[in-house]
Amino acid sequence: MNPAVEKLIPAIASSVVEHGGYLTKTKLLKLLYLFDVEYFRIHRQTFTGFQWKFFHLGPWAREFDGLLQKLLAQDVLVEKASSRPEFDTKFLRSSESVGIGGLFQSYKDEGALKTILHRWGDKTTGEILDYVYFCTEPMEHGVRNEPLDFSRIAEQRPPTYVRSSSGKNPREIKRTRERFWKDVEARTAVSQSKFDFTPPEYDEEYFDAVARLDSAR
């Protein structure tokens, strides 16, 4: 394990809380995982040095619990139970403000962490878990209770989809939309219009069958 993680964790806690988010044990672990993913994308190794595996709630590392307890015992982190008794939740915060600057020798690494915290720091644990499960390469290819394979991570992040422009000006787009909705309304009116009803024609076989049913009552 990288000893620098002991400084990374209170910096993450400070950033999340100072920007209006909350931090739990599970959320902290997933933020560390997300940073390791992006750090690996740059350096082909994780920052934490954790031995990540696919466990119950996604990525988990045995080293994390002991490190967290150490930081709590040293009052580097403070743990507080939820004020709502129906929730058995404990929130974490740093005992003092810790900045991200100075944690890394590279601005690129610092930027990677800031990007993770900007995107996920104020999100719920559920939102982060959903992203971790379905949008990170080690978990996409992970096998439950087995080590996660970080070598699956591409060196270049897949490009974000951006819808291309039609090249039309706003006035043309407005006219096209108006024509579209008029067409929809016209088709709806036709589908809802009443059709002429043609009464059925009954033959002798029909009336014979009705007579037999009546006589059987």
Question: Exposed, middle or buried: residue 32 (CB in 10 Å: 0-12, 13-18, 19+)?
Answer: buried
| pLDDT score, position 204 | 63
Place of tokens 């507080």: 80
Dist CA 81 CA 109 (whole Å)? 33
Domain regions of the chain by residue span: 5-152, 181-216
The residue with greater pLDDT, 45 or 189, is: 45
49 or 215, which is more confident: 49
How many residues are listed for the chain in this entry?
217
pTM summary value: 0.71
Q: Which 3 state secondary structure label does DSSP give 54?
A: strand
- Candidates 91, 52, 88; CA nearest to 72 is 91
